[in-house]
Amino acid sequence: MTTNEELITQVLQGLPVQIKRPGRVFVTIPREDLIKTMNILSSELNVRHLSTITARDTNKDFELLYHFFLNGVVITIRTICPKNDPTIESIVPIFPSANLYEREIHDILGIVPQGHPDLRRLVLPDDWVGGYPLRKDWKQPTEKEAEE
């Protein structure tokens, strides 16, 4: 009997799939292949459930994790986006539920999802000028700086 994890591995043939433990599958792809991979997930695996998108500053670059859920398996698509060009293709046309999550990573890390229909702020105030707080080099402004 093939498990759900093995089925997913078969469909994602050729991609570096890593089964961390039962129910947790990680796939690392280059940034250019994002849309292609998302299309495979959507049309061939029929994935609909996008749990969220995690973005993190690794000091060197940005790491993006797209977490999907299918038949008891959390599929995480991992991709890297360089700091000097913090852009990524928007996946909203394929997964509409990515809308708010892409707005969030844009807001707190300054990663620009290109082609996103509505890139207003999500969690920070509209008049925020303090930079991108989730970047590792971000420092909380002192009280004096905050007043200015």
Partner 1 sequence: MNHVKLPIGPQHPALKEPENFAITLDGERVVDVDIRIGYIHRGIEKLMESRTYIQNLYLVERICGICSYAHVWNFTQNVEEILGLQIPKRAEFIRTLFLELERLHSHFLWLGVAGHEIGFDTLFMYTWEDREVVQDLLEMISGNRVNYAMNTIGGVRRDVGEEHRKKVLQGMDYLEKRAQYYKEVAINEKTILARAENVGILKPKDALRLTAVGPTARASGIKVDIRKNDPYSVYPETPFEMITTDTNDVLGRVVVRVLEIFESIKIIRYLMEHLPEGEIKIKVPRKIPEGEAITHCEAPRGEDFHYLRSNGTERPERYKVRTPTLANLLSVSEMLKGTYLADVPIVVAAIDPCMGCMDRVLLIKEGTDKPGELVDGEQLRRYGIKWYAERGWNA
To partner 1, the closest distance from the beta carbon of 39 in angstroms equals 16
| Helix H or strand E encompassing 108 | helix 98-109
Contact region with partner 1 (CB under 8 A), list: 8-16, 31-39, 45-53, 83-91: 45-53
Side-chain half-sphere of 68: how many Cα atoms within 13 Å? 23
Cα–Cα distance, 14 to 20 (Å, whole number): 18
CA distance 35 to 93: 10
Nearer to partner 1, 37 or 76 (CB): 76
β-partners of residue 52 are: 67
Residue 97 sits in the site that holds partner 1 (CB under 8 A): yes
- Vertex 25, ends 64 and 50: CA angle to 5°? 55
Q: Does 52 bind partner 1 (CB under 8 A)?
A: yes
- Among residues 83, 93, 110, 121, the one that binds partner 1 under rule CB under 8 A: 121
By CB under 8 A, residue 61 contacts partner 1:
no
The tokens for 94 are: 């394929």
Contact window for partner 1 (CB under 8 A) among 11-19, 27-35, 80-88, 93-101: 93-101
Indicate whether 67 belongs to the interface with partner 1 (CB under 8 A): yes
Question: What does the angle CA 60 – CA 35 – CA 7 come to, to the nearest 5 degrees?
Answer: 100
Distance between CA atoms of residues 127 and 104, nearest Å: 16
Closer to partner 1 at the Cβ: 31 or 121?
Answer: 121
Interface with partner 1, residue 71, by CB under 8 A: yes
Per CB under 8 A, residues contacting partner 1 are 21, 23-24, 48-52, 54, 56-57, 65, 67, 69, 71-74, 76, 95-97, 99-101, 120-125, 133-134, 138
